[in-house]
Chains A and B, each alone.
Chain A
Amino acid sequence: MKRKMEKSELIFKIIAYVFLIVFALMCVYPFIYALASSFSSTEAVDGGQVILWPVGFQTTAYEFVFGDNVFWISYANTLFLAFVGTIWCMLYSIMGAYALSKKRLMGRRVFNFILVFTMWFSAGIVPQFLNYQATGDILAALGGTTYAEMDQKWLIIIAMGMNATNVILLRNSFEGVPAEIEEAARIDGATEMQVLMNVYIPMSKATIATVALFFGISRWNGYFWAMRMMPNQRFSWPVQVYIRNFIDSYSGLIKEVLEGNEWEYSIKTIRPGYEHTDVSVMSVVYTMVICAVIPILCIYPFIQKYFAKGVNMGGVKE
């Protein structure tokens, strides 16, 4: 039986729809605007004529960015950091979480506490920075170089991106695996590693995918420590640092430009001798933003459901 909708209900529904649609549009609009601006001419971008679609269509900004080798080097760096960093984090997190999920592990509470305490208290940026420098020496010695000469990428991969919440997510998921299956595997003579590889990991695929994505996204997005640890190693920068540096250096928005220096607002000043001058720095910035966002946009539809799942798993209990 279909009930007639009450007036208050109808109003509520309309408000809900309007609110959600407006908010959804607000969420995607900046990216649409960036896309449109990256294809627009200087006058259109600087004059604020661009609203939804390109005005004064040009592809010079893309030509400029595609010709910018350092941008693509930093892009490759980001891919490298995200990929290797995620593998490294997953490796020790899965092994650690597996050990912690075992009730028979002696000192389990102590190990858990060691993990959880880092969620309550952190030493802060400055001690961490000093510590990264100090431990960087050790890593450099292991790699046969000195701290000053070493590629800081490795320090970032190995030392950063740890996350206690992710380990706890994995641990909870491993705890949910029925003990009978493990026993059956053990009777068949499986070793500890085989049990982990052939029983636990296949049975917690969803959680592992989610946690890997959490790690991957945080690696892909990481900015602060990369900037802090290697301000001068231009060819090891991830793309986030490169983009920010580009804005800092060429837009005059954040850093003050020297007095009396008339700010020329075109990419000709960035790469002297570059023949096209009809593109504004802003278009280049938008192009870089679009380039940096595209990989995420490509995998986003596929990973979205895992994230929704992951956030609901998040019952952190100890």
Chain B
Amino acid sequence: MFKLKCDDFLIYDEATGTYSMSKEQQVRDEHERKNWQTVGITLLKDWRLYLMLVPMLLVYFLWRYMPMTQLLAAFKNPNTPGVLASDVANQDWYGLTNFKELLFGTTANTPMFWAAFRNTFAIAFYGLVFGFPFPIILAIFFNEIRSNVTRSVIQVCVYLPKFMSTVIITTLAIVLFKGPHTDGIMDDSVGVISKLLLAIFPSANLEAAASTAGGLIFSPNYFRALYEITGIWEHGGYDSIVFFAAVIAVSPTSYEAAQIDGAGKMQQMRYVVLPSILSTVVIMLIMKVGSLLSVGYEKVYLMSSPKNYSAADIVATLANRWADESQSTLGIAAEMLNNLIGMILVLGANAIAKRASDVSLY
């Protein structure tokens, strides 16, 4: 006969050879029961709060978390048809074959995926490099305008594009950057901005790009630049609001002190303004880096045509197209890869910021 090693909550009675609960454990059990009672009472007392939470949780569960169950399809055989959750459940497991095909495959899909991934990254990266400093510059310039009326008027103008829909913005971009058609599809009218550009930079290259694709937007060589420019046009003014709030928070005495010390305007920017707005800049930079790979697919979708896929196709639009070509599983795998990397970027940027400056978003 052996003795159980459970001295901490059981007491062995040598005489009768039985176990009994220790006093301490009885107290602990009692405590725990009380705890659960409190939980029950709290839940019961606050049932209205939980009821209020239910619609939101339901919406998020149904349309944000349910789609994630579809991700299983990325590990299933693409050749067995059916894409509903029940169909996917019945398909053969395929392991990482879909991912292998995307990354190292020999079919036409592999270069397409890599091109799309490169485009996603390039669009996001250029957006960061050119789109990020612009609102800061704008905010600093706004601070130079002393007249409130003038500044308000300019601000109303520059915030305006932010409130226009993507369809309106892309429509205007397509039409204003239109080039003359030479293939008989359409008239040879030229969009007013293309015309201006051709007048300022008369190059055969630009002209060819405008005319063959039906517009500069649809030319692979100019798509990225125009995507970023329209992006800055659209968001620049609005994004400057948060920086402007930081810039006007700089106390005027700091400027005066710097002036007395003989600092010129650039030195004031460097040693007074920049340090004061740095924390805002860091937060916004984290946000930007975090959303690096979640390029707005709606705008890309609206600005792309088969003519500029080589530069404009991003992972999301490629997956969308693959889904229409009954290659859903491959599309799901591609997007999953993209979004996982995106998530790592968000969390990584946040962790770095937390360590570096106590500023964190989540």
Q: Which residues of A contact B (CB under 8 A)?
A: 3, 6, 8-9, 11-13, 15-17, 19-21, 23-28, 30-31, 33-34, 45-48, 50-51, 91-93, 95-96, 98-100, 102, 104-106, 111, 114-116, 118-135, 158-160, 162, 167, 191-193, 196, 217, 220-224, 228, 240-241, 243-244, 247, 251-257, 262-263, 265, 282, 285-286, 289, 292-293, 296, 300-301, 304, 307-308, 311-312, 314, 316-318
**How far in angstroms is the closest Cβ of chain A from B254?**
15
Tell me, yes or no, whether B64 is within 8 Å of chain A by CB: yes
Q: Is A99's CB under 8 angstroms from B52's CB?
A: yes
With a cutoff of 8 Å between Cβ atoms, the chain A residues found around residue B137 in the complex are 19
Shortest Cβ distance from B322 into A: residue? A126
12 contacting pairs across A/B (C-beta < 8 A): A24-B154, A46-B187, A105-B49, A121-B342, A122-B64, A125-B316, A126-B332, A130-B84, A162-B63, A192-B49, A223-B167, A253-B186
Task: Pick from B48, B157, B163, B174 the residue with the most CB of A within 10 Å.
Answer: B163
Task: Pick from A34, A102, A114, A125 the residue with the most CB of B within 10 Å.
Answer: A125
CA distance A311 to B135 in the complex (A): 14
Tell me, yes or no, whether B340 is within 8 Å of chain A by CB: yes
Q: Is A34's CB under 8 angstroms from B145's CB?
A: no
Q: Which of A27, A93, A285, A301 contacts B158 (CB 8 A)?
A: A27
Q: Given that A104-B42, A307-B238 are known contacts, is A20 also in contact with B301, CB under 8 Å in the complex?
A: no
With a cutoff of 8 Å between Cβ atoms, the chain B residues found around residue A102 in the complex are 46, 49
Q: Is B144's CB under 8 angstroms from A12's CB?
A: yes
Q: Is B163's CB under 8 angstroms from A132's CB?
A: no
Stretch at the interface among B11-19, B24-32, B116-124, B189-197: B189-197
Stretch at the interface among B2-10, B53-61, B90-98, B103-111: B53-61
With a cutoff of 8 Å between Cβ atoms, the chain B residues found around residue A34 in the complex are 172
CA distance A17 to B92 in the complex (A): 65
Tell me, yes or no, whether B83 is within 8 Å of chain A by CB: yes
Q: Is A20's CB under 8 angstroms from B56's CB?
A: no
CA distance A126 to B84 in the complex (A): 11
Enumerate the 3 nearest inter-chain pairs by beta-carbon distance, A residue then B residue, closest first: A96-B56, A124-B335, A221-B165
With a cutoff of 8 Å between Cβ atoms, the chain A residues found around residue B53 in the complex are 95-96, 99-100, 105, 111
Please, what's the 1-or-0 string for B142-171, where 1 marks a CB less than 8 Å from any CB in chain A? 101100000001101111110111111001
Q: Is A6's CB under 8 angstroms from B265's CB?
A: yes
Tell me, yes or no, whether B220 is within 8 Å of chain A by CB: no
CA distance A96 to B305 in the complex (A): 41
CA distance A67 to B48 in the complex (A): 51
Q: Which residues of B contact A (CB under 8 A)?
A: 39, 42-43, 46, 48-50, 52-53, 55-57, 59-60, 62-68, 70-71, 73, 83-85, 137-138, 140-142, 144-145, 153-154, 156-161, 163-168, 171-172, 174-176, 178, 181, 184-187, 189-192, 195, 214-215, 218, 233, 236-238, 241-242, 245, 259, 264-266, 294, 297-298, 301-302, 305-306, 316, 319-320, 322-323, 328, 331-332, 335-336, 338-340, 342-343, 346-347, 360-362
With a cutoff of 8 Å between Cβ atoms, the chain A residues found around residue B241 in the complex are 307-308, 311-312
Q: Is B346's CB under 8 angstroms from A120's CB?
A: yes
Q: Is A118's CB under 8 angstroms from B84's CB?
A: no
With a cutoff of 8 Å between Cβ atoms, the chain B residues found around residue A192 in the complex are 48-49, 52
Q: Is B238's CB under 8 angstroms from A92's CB?
A: no
**How far in angstroms is the closest Cβ of chain B from A290?**
10
Q: Is B60's CB under 8 angstroms from A311's CB?
A: no
**Total inter-chain residue pairs, C-beta < 8 Å:** 295
Q: Is A124's CB under 8 angstroms from B316's CB?
A: yes
With a cutoff of 8 Å between Cβ atoms, the chain B residues found around residue A50 in the complex are 192
Q: Which of B165, B178, B323 contacts A220 (CB 8 A)?
A: B165
Q: Is B168's CB under 8 angstroms from A292's CB?
A: yes
**How far in angstroms is the closest Cβ of chain A from B35?**
12
Shortest Cβ distance from B296 into A: residue? A224
Shortest Cβ distance from A310 into B: residue? B241
Q: Is B59's CB under 8 angstroms from A162's CB?
A: yes
Task: Pick from A3, A252, A262, A301 the residue with the most CB of B within 10 Å.
Answer: A252
With a cutoff of 8 Å between Cβ atoms, the chain A residues found around residue B55 in the complex are 91-92, 95-96
With a cutoff of 8 Å between Cβ atoms, the chain A residues found around residue B360 in the complex are 317
Q: Given that A292-B165, A296-B163 are known contacts, is A126 also in contact with B323, CB under 8 Å in the complex?
A: yes
CA distance A226 to B195 in the complex (A): 34
CA distance A289 to B168 in the complex (A): 6
Known: A119-B346, A130-B84. 7 other contacts (CB 8 A): A23-B158, A27-B237, A105-B50, A125-B297, A224-B297, A240-B165, A256-B306
Q: Is B46's CB under 8 angstroms from A129's CB?
A: no
With a cutoff of 8 Å between Cβ atoms, the chain A residues found around residue B48 in the complex are 191-193
Q: Is A21's CB under 8 angstroms from B154's CB?
A: yes
Q: Which of A27, A96, A158 contacts B161 (CB 8 A)?
A: A27
Shortest Cβ distance from A314 into B: residue? B242
